[in-house]
Amino acid sequence: MLFTHDDESAASDKVMRAMFEARKRVFVDLLGWDLPVLAGLYEVDQYDDGHARYLILTDTDQNHLASARILPTTGPHILGELFLELCEASVPSGPDTWEISRFCLERRLRAPERRRCRDALVTALAHYALANGITTYTGVAEQGWLEQILAFGWQAEPLGRPNRIGTLALGALRITITPDTPRLLAAGGIQAPAMLDQAAA
């Protein structure tokens, strides 16, 4: 099932807690990022505020499978505040431009299921944008993940050369969303599984 959480609709508390726990397991425990952790369980930072929206993919028991956070670029966001140097020109921003961050796949998933969940979440991000007047996504990613995103088939481009920041090679990118984006993703091999047929808003 796909849950969205925004100003007008909210996923259950269980689903939200499961997402923050999964983020801690991936970004803190696995990747070793220096991020705030609440109660030793939840990865929550300053951008998890009232402006953030979340897309959360779960199984039928509302266990976390995959999730992503999107932030309006008209307010504080990661690329605009922390990684300006990754953009050769100005940071894209505006009411129709949102930033994707904390793209998180559940650690316990095996490779085929991870792929299905990744594809479902990418497809959901495209459909969410089309339904909510979002024409552009931006983001920051490690180089290996950045190269995957750019190869998904949608209209995506780097905003500058990747830079080494600390121990990570990071790059910024822009994704243009049009009504043709779902078809381009499918042509690029990003398949929308049946799990997207059941959506809770």
Q: Show the CA angle centred on residue 71, arms to residues 23 and 68, nearest 5°.
A: 35
Let me know if residue 158 belongs to a domain: yes
Using left for φ > 0, alpha for ψ between -120 and 50, and beta otherwise, residue 38 falls in beta
The two tokens of residue 91 are: 């940071």
User: 3-state class of 188 per DSSP?
Assistant: coil
Instruction: Show the domain range for 21.
Output: 2-196
Number of domains in the chain: 1
pLDDT tens across 153-163, in order? 999 999 999 99
The label of the residue with tokens 């307010």 reads 75
Q: Show the CA angle centred on residue 17, arms to residues 11 and 19, nearest 5°.
A: 80
Let me know if residue 201 belongs to a domain: no
pLDDT tens across 109-149, in order? 999 999 999 999 999 999 999 999 999 999 999 999 999 99
What string of pLDDT tens digits covers the 201 residues of the chain? 787 876 444 568 889 999 999 999 999 999 988 899 999 999 999 999 999 999 999 998 889 999 999 999 999 999 999 999 999 999 999 999 999 999 999 999 999 999 999 999 999 999 999 999 999 999 999 999 999 999 999 999 999 999 998 888 999 999 999 999 999 999 999 987 655 544 433
CATH code assigned at 155: 3.40.630.30
Average pLDDT score over the chain: 91
Question: Quick one: the chain helix, strand, coil %, rounded to 5?
Answer: 35, 30, 40
Q: What is the pLDDT of residue 194?
A: 59
Let me know if residue 168 belongs to a domain: yes
**Which of 55, 180, 71 lies closest to 105, judged by CA?**
55
Let me know if residue 39 belongs to a domain: yes
Q: How far is CA 97 from the centre of its chain?
A: 14
